Chains A and B, each alone.
Chain A
Amino acid sequence: MDPIEPDDADKTGRRFRRFLDTVRERFELDHVAYAGINPVTGTSHGFMTYDIDWSSHYLENKFYEIDPVLHKARQSIAPVDWARLERGAEFQTVFRDARAFGITDRGLTIPVRGPFGDVGGFSVLRDCPRREWEMLLGGIIGELQAAAVHMHDTIIRSEPLSRVLNAPSLSTREIEILQWTAAGKSQQDIGDILSISHRTVEVHLRSARQKLQALTTPQAIGRAINLGLIYPR
């Protein structure tokens, strides 16, 4: 998957919507949606692959004020299967209308938390039997987690103030490992060089990718070079 590139010219967030489309196609989902809030700037953000009729119906009826997917699921730390949400009046109201628009209640929300109180929820939906749903999730949940945090971080950092607050802060070890990776060393080699386990190398690389808003190691190396954190060889 391609990461979302920083682009100040894109005021309407077309690149975020495009990223959701990519996730939807890649994992064969019906829909993907993201909603997040940033208390530092007092802004909220929402992007979704739903048709315009459902999004406008949702907004007109101010469903975002009662939707348990936003108010409950986003507060957890683990992905919340919508089957766990209480079928109370709030849920019924939103999802009865959703069904009329062809939107299923077979969904899962991945909660995301940033360091400054910013929170987001990355939701995926597919209308299918329970067993199929669980098998699908089992295979893609790790990648969805990475996509969710990437989406959230990129959106939050599209705001100038939050970009300053969230400037990538890599540890000496993370930089060292990126530098060796750029030099063509394998994780096993780097582990041997630094006398740490190869899994520790992997954990640091994942963290470095996250901090540099990259989805793959080559992307992370490119960004680290641009930022002057490491030197090309």
Chain B
Amino acid sequence: MILVIDAVNKPKFAHVLDEMFRLRARVFGDRLGWQVEVVDGRERDVFDDLDPAYAVGLDEEGHVVSCVRALQTTGPHMLSDVFFDILDGEPPLRSASLWESTRFCVDTQRLGRGRGRNSVSYATCELMIASLEAAKRAGVSDIVTVIDPVMDRVLKRSGNAPYDYVGRQADMGKVPALAALLDCTDERIERIRAFSGIETDVFIPDEAALLLPAIAGAGTRKTPLEDYCDEQIATACNARERIDAMRLKAALADRVRSHSDISA
């Protein structure tokens, strides 16, 4: 089941994002040996502060088993700001209909071998289907994805072979990185579905995800600041006061919200 988290619903899923950053630390920091910064067991970079969209794979319990991150190529993204070696000094592609996908990974510890529901192969395909379908629904026609040769092979073996590459292979720490192009078309999605045997809807709605044990158990506590703001809005005597209270909450939005992300 894939949960899509962005700026709109992230206050509800701070715990899921935290688990995702830990998974990324284990995969990119430990297992793959990429040049990434791991702090306190979590791998985060500046692009995570820009409110990207994440597609996060959850198991039946609500634990994170896979994830990928998407950014618009019209704004700051990794190919323009970090992976410019791949582009050999050339300016990156910039288009409303092109998204960049980075940090694709699955949890090989929690998942098993084979092709069943709790296998690495299933989780990988489920996440690929979700990424393409979410992009397509957003009116995005193509994805440029920064991957290593291992992931490149995984894509090719799953009916999801890139149709081309941009730039050249460049060294990123222990491993080379490359930028591959994927079209968000029904044909590609169909190939991955046929390969994996996944026929059902891969997305889980917010309300259903909130009921999964690991997520319901973690709760979504409000910060004291948010409590205070809501109380001020509720107890306002007139419209003027109410709007002022709401303006205060909006002005403090960053602090009201982001606290829950950090503390979870």
Contact = CB atoms under 8 A, between A and B. Distances in A.
B182 to A, nearest CB: 10
Nearest to A149: B96
Given A76-B8, A145-B96, A171 B90 contact: yes
A207 interface: yes
A76 to B, nearest CB: 4
A84 interface: yes
Given A115-B75, A203-B93, A75 B51 contact: yes
B164 A61 contact: no
B247 A65 contact: yes
Interface stretch (B13-21, B113-121, B132-140): B132-140
Given A61-B243, A142-B97, 16 more contacts: A65-B246, A66-B243, A72-B8, A76-B51, A77-B53, A78-B4, A89-B246, A119-B75, A142-B139, A149-B96, A197-B163, A200-B163, A200-B166, A200-B181, A206-B141, A210-B96
A142 B141 contact: yes
A144 interface: yes
Contacts of A204: 93
Contact of A203 (B98, B138, B234, B251): B98
A229 to B, nearest CB: 12
A15 B99 CA distance: 29
Given A89-B246, A203-B142, A78 B134 contact: yes
A3 B233 CA distance: 44
Interface string B126-158: 000000001001111110000000000000000
A33 to B, nearest CB: 18
Interface string B82-116: 00000100111111111100000000000000000
Contacts of B94: 115, 207, 210-211
B8 A77 contact: no
A170 interface: yes
26 contacts: A65-B246, A66-B250, A71-B253, A75-B8, A76-B51, A77-B72, A78-B53, A78-B138, A80-B6, A80-B8, A84-B9, A93-B246, A111-B72, A115-B75, A141-B139, A145-B139, A149-B74, A149-B95, A169-B91, A171-B91, A171-B92, A199-B181, A200-B164, A203-B95, A206-B141, A210-B95
Contacts of B91: 169-171
A172 B15 CA distance: 44
Contacts of B160: none
Interface in A38-62: 61-62
A145 B139 CA distance: 7
B76 A85 contact: no
Interface in B209-246: 233-234, 242-243, 246
A143 to B, nearest CB: 8
A114 interface: yes
Leading 9 A-B pairs by shortest Cβ distance: A113-B75, A75-B7, A141-B139, A149-B96, A142-B139, A78-B138, A171-B90, A207-B93, A145-B96
Contacts of A84: 8-9
Give the interface size bracket for A toward B: 35 or more
Give the interface size bracket for B toward A: 35 or more
B246 A66 contact: yes
Given A61-B243, A84-B9, A210-B95, A199 B142 contact: yes
Contacts of A169: 91
Interface in B245-261: 246-247, 249-251, 253
B43 interface: no
Nearest to B236: A89
Contacts of A128: none
Contacts of A171: 87, 90-93
Interface in B47-74: 51-53, 70-74
Interface in A121-155: 141-146, 148-150
A173 interface: yes
Contacts of A172: 90
Contacts of A1: none
A210 B74 contact: yes
